[in-house]
C-alpha cells in the first residue's frame, strides 16, 4: 500500500472520528450535513469526505489493476 493511500485513509478515519465526536457533543441535523451554512463546522465536510473516499477507491483499483 502506498504512503499516499495510507495518509488518505488516516485522514478519512480522522474525519470520521471528528464527525462522531461532533454528533455526540451537540448532534448533527440532516440539514447541517446536507446543506450546512458557510460558518458551520460541517461546511465542506461531505464533499471532502466523498472526494477522499473516491480517491482511495481509485488508488485501490489502480494497485490491483482492476476497474470500478
CA-wise closest residue to 16 among 46, 36, 37, 43: 46
What pLDDT score does 67 carry? Answer: 76
CA-only gyration radius of the chain, Å: 14
pLDDT at 15: 95
Question: In which domain, by residue range, is 12 found?
Answer: 3-64
pLDDT tens for each residue of 14-57: 999 999 999 999 999 999 889 999 888 899 999 999 999 999 99
The count of domains in the chain is 1
- Give the per-residue pLDDT at 2: 78
Max mean pLDDT among 1-10, 18-27, 32-41, 59-68 falls in 18-27
Whether the Cβ atoms of residue 53 and residue 9 lie closer than 8 Å to each other: no
Amino acid at each position: 500500500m502506498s504512503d499516499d493511500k495510507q495518509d488518505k485513509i488516516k485522514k478519512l478515519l480522522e474525519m470520521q472520528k471528528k464527525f462522531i465526536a461532533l454528533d455526540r457533543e451537540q448532534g448533527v441535523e440532516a440539514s447541517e450535513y446536507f446543506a450546512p451554512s458557510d460558518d458551520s463546522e460541517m461546511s465542506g465536510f461531505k464533499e471532502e469526505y466523498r472526494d477522499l473516499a473516491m480517491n482511495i477507491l481509485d488508488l485501490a483499483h489502480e494497485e490491483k489493476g482492476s476497474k470500478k
